[in-house]
Structure 1
Amino acid sequence: MLKFLHVACLLSATTLASQSLAGDGGSLQIYVSKAEQSLTVYDGDQVVATSHVSTGKPGHSTPSGIFSILEKQRYHESNLYSSAPMPWMQRLTWSGVALHESNSVPNYPASHGCVRLPRAFAKALYQMTERGAHVIITDEPVTPAPVRHATLFQPRRAIDEGQLLSDAELRPSTIEAGRRPVQVAMVEKEATSPVQSADVFADIPPVRILITRRGQRETLMDVQAMLTELGFDAGPVDGYLGRQTISAIDGYKRWKGLETRGEILSPEFLTRIYASAGKGAPPLGQIMVRQKFKPVFEAAVSIADPQKPLGTHFIEATHVDMLAGSAEWRGVTLENHLSSQTMKRLGIEAPVAAELTPTLAETLDRISIPDAVRRKIEPMLGEGSSITISDAGVGPETGDGTDFITVTREVPRG
């Protein structure tokens, strides 16, 4: 579902491909390379715009990672730097990083952390994008490539109560919705009533998906729910280790003859309570889903070989066709250094020198997503939906009014 945006002017410092035949704004991907001081806009596999930029200077470096446009303002003044003007501002973090116009865009890092854009290009880019469009900032340049893997989601039509989709005979058709045709599925039940219903799949808001390792919060939420099911009132399932939850844990431990002193969520305790609840081994992975900058749901997933790093990967869906049940995925792998302390906390063994960052395909091979979770996500899969995979989990920049923000760390150079 593409609409065509014609940007009026071309800059000598900027290339806009094919009169800037860009996508629908939300499905565009923006890649910024700090090493090359460049910005590239992709619509699927097509480069639709490029420009030189100026990122943060030493001491005020622009963070690398996976971001999305949180807010857009035609004119904004900096709250941090003497009300400095920031026309055509597109915010990436609530802590002050943005894309914006500047009169000074040299071919080297010069900003206080934002990504400075040439004047005409800043306006053109602002007109191309929508809130939620992804911005990937890296040191060295990366290029998204097609990804095909059984672990990736494919769109499916939600099933109405009373009739399975497989029982209905669908035929593709179009209707006029505003100024553009919209793909629909026409369901015919009887010859006397040729059109019983029409489901419009256009403009499904994209979902943002994070797959990561489980943290103590997710494990504790499981424990609270299981304790209450087993008759030990642990209070609300909120992931907070309060007095009532601790009392319930101690009660369970006394029941099973476990030591109540020492580590509260000990491996032995977790193994025993998951077994008591009939849930098998404690899960190691978590999938989290957001839509329109708000949490929707989260669930456990399995990660094979947990001692190996997952790496940091970003994948986005384009050409989402709900009727055909198909989507095209394009992805990149990002460098992301984990400290020895972080690896120890996550249970990751330090890789030997000959090993490299795991490829996206290798990481997808290790992730198993329950069918029930797939059935919940796939009817929500709109154009521009994305998956981030990361060892580090939810970072501090992710919060109210954001998608999942993943800040990556530069790999030390020998």
Structure 2
Amino acid sequence: MRITLGIGLAVLIASAPSALAAGAKAPLQIVVSRQQQSLVVYDGDTVVATSNISTGKRGHTTPTGIFSILEKRRHHKSNIYSNAPMPFMQRLTWSGIALHGSNHVPDYPASHGCVRLPGKFAASLFKMTQRGMHVVISDRQVTPVAIASTMLFQPNQAHPPAPPMSDVPLRPAISHFDGGSVEVAMTDRRPSPALLVHEQPPIRILVTRRGRQDTMRDLQMLLTTLGHDAGAPDGHGGPMTLAAISSFQTAEGLPVDGKATPELIEAVYRKAGRDMPPNGVLRVRRAFQPLFEAEITIDKPELALGTHFLQFQDTDAATGQGKWFGMALDNTLSKAAKDRLGITVDTDPTEFNALQRTLNRLTVPDDVRRRIAGLLADGSSLSISDTDTGLETGEGTDFITITHSVSGR
């Protein structure tokens, strides 16, 4: 059944408990369904507003996944399609996907990739949103539900300053590495609940499997530490990295081929007196900028994590506790991707407690949990995905996760 504006946007806003009419900035989120051709605005698990929409037609399919509003323009024209007007434009990707108003919003996919909204609704939605607000686009209709888990972060998990932990594997994001030394301080003071709610911008957390770029970057750092200059640890195996690998192989009496094989990587870790790193990584961004990364452990790595999105809100000033609302998304991995990641068992996002089961498989070091707790604010989010972010995630974005359906529509 298609969700429409049958009872009117004004009625929905007035009846929602989020006090939007009083000017409160609740951490809302938007969920778009391509199958239903619908858009729903949620405050937690409460519907604030709904509308019919029109997504991309065949050949110009609207991508599915986890996005956020990167830019807002009341008056905008397409720089691709003959300066077509796109009033109340809210950009989701720098490659050209956006929400915007239109005079033609049929009940079927008809756009060139954007999400078309009825003009009046587009104007009302524009007033309700702000940059960084999350937009989830899915084939089927998905709904956020309250999630309780000991794995999920809470502001009151922060604690008073303690000496820095030299063995905690925190590091800056790749784009922030300048080749110099990195100092990691785990001494964030616990902010007051009022500060968490009103002053700190929300953070974006991504949990994913440790990828080739992470492995290569750490290999480069270790090779350089061992006296084989691999250049800047950028995660890409360039000429200096290949030369460093060959130099290490020569020094250790190994066959020289310059290849970063699993055996070579294990040999480098042994030589450096280090254990092999955990199989997961946690990344943190704030205000569209990378903050830090940390290593985590994923239990049962042969089982797919699936793709999930959660948002934190409603922090209680007295207890420092807030609520998490989450949803599981469809995402079909290719055989090549599963082979590369070592996944042999798929997960079904529609299974009971699919998100809860995934959370139970994640282990985050205590010091990392405390640092995140000190940064947590209403509207913070957590994305979980087997595959790392693609080309859409970059400068001036949050973590953008693109999902794929079985049909590949």
1:95-106 → structure 2 map (5 Å cutoff): 95-106=95-106
Using the TM superposition, give the Cα deviation of residue 219 of structure 1 relative to its aligned residue in structure 2, in angstroms. 0.7
- Structure 1 counterpart of 2:122: 122
Question: Structure 1 residues 51, 160: CA separation in 2 closer, same or farther (over 3 Å shift)?
Answer: same
CA–CA separation in structure 1 for the residues paired with 2:24 and 2:293? 28
Report Cα offsets for 1:291-310 as digits up to 9, x if no partner. Answer: 10111111221112212111
- Structure 1 counterpart of 2:310: 315
Task: In structure 2, list runs of 5 or more residues that go unmatched.
Answer: 164-189
TM-score (normalizing by structure 1): 0.82
- Structure 1 counterpart of 2:404: 409
Are residues 1:286 and 2:306 paired?
no
8 Å CA contact 2:57–2:112 kept in 1: the answer is yes
The structure with the larger Rg is 1
Question: Structure 1 residues 131, 219: CA separation in 2 closer, same or farther (over 3 Å shift)?
Answer: same
CA–CA separation in structure 2 for the residues paired with 1:200 and 1:212? 26
8 Å CA contact 2:305–2:347 kept in 1: the answer is no
Letter in 2 for 1:245: T
- Structure 1 counterpart of 2:246: 250
- Structure 2 counterpart of 1:138: 138
CA–CA separation in structure 1 for the residues paired with 2:387 and 2:196? 38
Report Cα offsets for 1:79-115 as digits up to 9, x if no partner. Answer: 1111000111111111111111111112111111111
Using the TM superposition, give the Cα deviation of residue 215 of structure 1 relative to its aligned residue in structure 2, in angstroms. 1.5
- Structure 2 counterpart of 1:213: 209
CA–CA separation in structure 2 for the residues paired with 1:97 and 1:200? 32
8 Å CA contact 1:340–1:350 kept in 2: the answer is no
CA–CA separation in structure 2 for the residues paired with 1:273 and 1:346? 22
Question: Structure 1 residues 159, 373: CA separation in 2 closer, same or farther (over 3 Å shift)?
Answer: same
Question: Structure 1 residues 136, 36: CA separation in 2 closer, same or farther (over 3 Å shift)?
Answer: same
1:193-208 → structure 2 map (5 Å cutoff): 202-208=198-204
Sequence identity of aligned pairs in percent? 49
CA–CA separation in structure 2 for the residues paired with 1:45 and 1:76? 32
1:248-397 → structure 2 map (5 Å cutoff): 248-261=244-257, 264-321=259-316, 324-349=319-344, 351=346, 359-397=354-392
CA–CA separation in structure 1 for the residues paired with 2:43 and 2:273? 47
Using the TM superposition, give the Cα deviation of residue 138 of structure 1 relative to its aligned residue in structure 2, in angstroms. 0.7
- Structure 1 counterpart of 2:87: 87
Structure 1 counterpart SS, 2:81:
coil
Q: In terms of mean alpha carbon deviation, does 10-19 or 201-210 score higher? A: 10-19
Question: Structure 1 residues 142, 201: CA separation in 2 closer, same or farther (over 3 Å shift)?
Answer: closer
Report Cα offsets for 1:264-308 as digits up to 9, x if no partner. Answer: 221112222223333323321111111101111112211122121
CA–CA separation in structure 2 for the residues paired with 1:16 and 1:90? 24
Question: Structure 1 residues 375, 278: CA separation in 2 closer, same or farther (over 3 Å shift)?
Answer: farther
CA–CA separation in structure 2 for the residues paired with 1:372 and 1:160? 11
- Structure 2 counterpart of 1:17: 12
TM-score (normalizing by structure 2): 0.83
* Number of corresponding residues: 370
The structure richer in strand per residue is: 1
CA–CA separation in structure 2 for the residues paired with 1:364 and 1:344? 23
Structure 2 counterpart SS, 1:320:
coil
8 Å CA contact 2:196–2:377 kept in 1: the answer is no
CA–CA separation in structure 2 for the residues paired with 1:152 and 1:326? 11
Question: Structure 1 residues 18, 79: CA separation in 2 closer, same or farther (over 3 Å shift)?
Answer: closer
Question: Structure 1 residues 158, 69: CA separation in 2 closer, same or farther (over 3 Å shift)?
Answer: farther
8 Å CA contact 1:230–1:277 kept in 2: the answer is yes
Question: Structure 1 residues 16, 293: CA separation in 2 closer, same or farther (over 3 Å shift)?
Answer: farther
- Structure 2 counterpart of 1:399: 394
- Structure 2 counterpart of 1:40: 40
Structure 2 counterpart SS, 1:245:
helix
Structure 2 counterpart SS, 1:326:
coil
Task: In structure 1, list runs of 5 or more residues that go unmatched.
Answer: 1-9, 163-169, 173-182, 185-198
8 Å CA contact 1:54–1:116 kept in 2: the answer is yes
